[in-house]
Structure 1
Amino acid sequence: MGVYDALAAERAGVTTVVAQAKLHGINRQHMFRIRSGKWQPSLTVAMRMAADLGTTVDALFERVDR
């Protein structure tokens, strides 16, 4: 989640997972699961996360082809 981490730090000043979860109004366990790839956020949560950071869902969850 490099793009997310950079935007969260730059635009919202949050650097911890707990602070990130609080920013988006979600449970910290959900944020840990999103970050680990064990859970994908609902569209509503993804849109809120993007709006909170002033970006798009596509940019926030950009996939890297390997």
Structure 2
Amino acid sequence: MSWTWRFLAPDGGNASGVDDGAGRSEAGFPTQSDAESWLGEHWRGLVEAGVDSVVLVEDGRDVYGPMSLKPPD
């Protein structure tokens, strides 16, 4: 199993410049928990890089999302 994040721009397309070139996190994670922990540590940098929301993917299957990275107003 491999867990990854797909990064989305505000228009819903793949965010560029923060991924493996296909809108996904470069690193795969062995568990869902590892992927979620990584996101908890890196979401601010992703927002600064232009990522609006993320989708958690397991072996090519969307598990949940899109989930906004923007803090509530």
TM-score, length of structure 1 as denominator length: 0.32
Q: By percentage of residues, which structure has more strand? A: 2
